[in-house]
């Protein structure tokens, strides 16, 4: 019965979604002359082949395949030039004439797969992108709590259900295991701070051991330095530990995440790091003020385009793209439309 209801729902939802995408595509800002200079900023996380085992411990909304990424780059260029985010910001601040439309490509977290799959594709197509690295997590395996949760689920560990912080969210997992259910579980856990979640996971002891393997999920410094030196990628800061910068932070934590991360990256890269990215798109006024003081510009996860008349360089909107929402050219154009 459940399966039947699900199938029925899908058979209604799919054509509706397709019609909506068609409408957005044809009415979208990407097709029209822009009344004022407009910047699109696309947000990517991971680029992984569908059969890569690393997909297993990742939320579906975090991944595109290399084939989809290639298609995206080709399709974007039909509608607007791809620019480096830092260059666009620089030109804007200098009061230069701005392109009518431009698209900046951004990657969050600094995943090793970006080096393996996005870098060659960008190089091949002669394009540039930004990558926001987590300064204290560079070169680490299973660096973030969502990946550790996914790893426990994948191994069907009963421990998740036994911990008082993790158990309520673990109820959402159901059987059989699905990546969507893991996503729902992770979303629920976001009500807790990183400190609480990491402490909960650490208290499980060796149970999360396999998530701490020797193969890094985040690219190591030499790879990040190579990307940075190549001119294909510009490295920006995504804090020291990926702590969400919301009201729960102490002034010391806030300062460490925002200011120290910049210093650490600059020491490793040998030049200024003027761009910042808010983890999970979460921040409060105090964090924003500090980011304004220490960075030239910052990106959020707020969906939308950036028009110069209403621009805030430290709260730039982005468009999240992943396999689930932009696997076809039409779906991608619906995302580029600025209509939702
Ligand atoms: Zn992130």
Task: Please write the tens of the pLDDT for every residue from 310-333.
Answer: 999 999 999 999 999 999 999 999
Above 70 in pLDDT, residue 283? yes
Per-residue pLDDT at 156: 77
Distance 42 CA to ligand 1 centre (A): 14
pLDDT in tens, 226-276: 999 999 999 999 999 999 998 778 999 999 999 999 999 999 999 999 999
Cα separations in angstroms, 157 against 162, 182, 210, 229: 10, 13, 12, 42
Per-residue pLDDT at 333: 98
Distance 34 CA to ligand 1 centre (A): 31
Say which range, 25-39, 55-69, 151-165, 256-270, has the weakest mean pLDDT.
151-165
pLDDT in tens, 107-146: 999 999 999 999 999 999 999 999 999 999 999 887 788 8
Q: Which residues belong to CATH 3.20.20.370 in the chain?
A: 29-141+220-336
Distance 183 CA to ligand 1 centre (A): 15
Distance 138 CA to ligand 1 centre (A): 13
Distance 279 CA to ligand 1 centre (A): 5
Q: Which residues have a Cβ under 8 Å from the Cβ of 297 and sit 6 or more positions away?
A: 85, 86, 89, 274, 275, 276, 313, 314, 316
Per-residue pLDDT at 213: 52
pLDDT in tens, 78-91: 999 999 999 999 99
Distance 128 CA to ligand 1 centre (A): 20
pLDDT in tens, 200-219: 888 886 555 444 456 789 99
Percentage of the chain lying above the pLDDT 70 cut: 96
Distance 26 CA to ligand 1 centre (A): 32
pLDDT in tens, 151-202: 888 777 788 888 899 888 888 887 777 778 888 889 999 999 888 998 888 8
Distance 109 CA to ligand 1 centre (A): 5
Can you say whether residue 211 is alpha, beta or left, with left for phi > 0 and alpha for psi between -120 and 50 degrees? alpha
- Cβ distance 182 to 62 under 8 Å? no
Distance 243 CA to ligand 1 centre (A): 9
Per-residue pLDDT at 198: 87
Distance 155 CA to ligand 1 centre (A): 24
Per-residue pLDDT at 287: 97
CA 60 to chain centre: 12
Distance 245 CA to ligand 1 centre (A): 12
| Rounded CA separation 314/291 (Å) | 7
Distance 5 CA to ligand 1 centre (A): 35
Distance 157 CA to ligand 1 centre (A): 26
Distance 205 CA to ligand 1 centre (A): 25
Per-residue pLDDT at 218: 94
Characterize the bridge pairing of strands 297-303 and 306-307. Answer: unpaired
Distance 95 CA to ligand 1 centre (A): 31
What's the pLDDT band for 55 if we cut at 50, 70, 90?
confident
Above 80 in pLDDT, residue 2? no
Distance 148 CA to ligand 1 centre (A): 15
Distance 195 CA to ligand 1 centre (A): 16
Question: Mean pLDDT score of the chain, rounded to an integer?
Answer: 91
HSE of 151, CA atoms in CB hemisphere, 13 A: 20
The CATH number of domain 29-141+220-336 is 3.40.630.30:
no
Per-residue pLDDT at 233: 98
Residues 8-29: what's their mean pLDDT? 89
Q: Which residue is listed with tokens 């900046």? A: 104
Distance 229 CA to ligand 1 centre (A): 22
């Amino acid at each position: 019965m459940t399966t039947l209801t699900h199938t029925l729902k899908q058979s209604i939802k799919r054509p509706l979604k397709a019609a909506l995408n068609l409408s957005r595509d044809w009415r979208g800002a990407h097709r029209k002359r822009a009344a004022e200079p407009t910047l699109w900023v696309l947000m990517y996380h991971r680029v992984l082949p569908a059969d890569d085992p690393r997909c297993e411990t990742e939320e579906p909304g975090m991944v595109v395949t290399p084939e989809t990424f290639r298609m995206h780059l080709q399709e974007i260029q039909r509608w607007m030039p791809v620019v480096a985010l830092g260059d666009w910001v620089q030109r804007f601040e200098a009061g230069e004439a701005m392109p009518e439309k431009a698209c900046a490509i951004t990657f969050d977290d600094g995943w090793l797969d970006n080096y393996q799959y996005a870098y060659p594709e960008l190089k091949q197509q002669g394009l540039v992108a930004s990558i926001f690295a987590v300064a204290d997590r560079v070169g680490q395996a299973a660096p973030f709590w969502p990946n550790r949760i996914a790893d426990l689920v994948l191994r069907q560990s009963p421990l998740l259900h036994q911990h008082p912080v993790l158990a309520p969210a673990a109820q959402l997992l159901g059987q059989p295991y699905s990546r969507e259910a893991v996503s729902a579980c992770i979303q629920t856990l976001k009500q807790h701070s990183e400190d609480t979640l990491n402490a909960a996971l650490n208290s499980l002891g060796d149970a999360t051991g396999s998530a701490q393997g020797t193969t890094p999920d985040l690219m190591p410094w030499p790879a990040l330095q190579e990307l940075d030196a190549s001119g294909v990628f510009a490295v920006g800061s995504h804090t020291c530990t990926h702590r969400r910068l919301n009201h729960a932070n102490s002034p010391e934590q806030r300062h460490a995440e925002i200011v120290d991360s910049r210093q650490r990256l600059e020491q490793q890269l040998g030049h200024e790091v003027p761009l910042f990215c808010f983890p999970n798109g979460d921040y409060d006024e105090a964090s924003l003020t500090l980011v304004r003081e220490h960075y030239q510009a910052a990106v959020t996860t707020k969906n939308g385009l950036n028009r110069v008349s209403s621009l805030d360089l430290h709260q730039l909107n982005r468009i999240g793209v992943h396999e689930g929402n932009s696997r076809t050219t039409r779906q991608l154009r619906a995302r580029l439309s600025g209509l939702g």
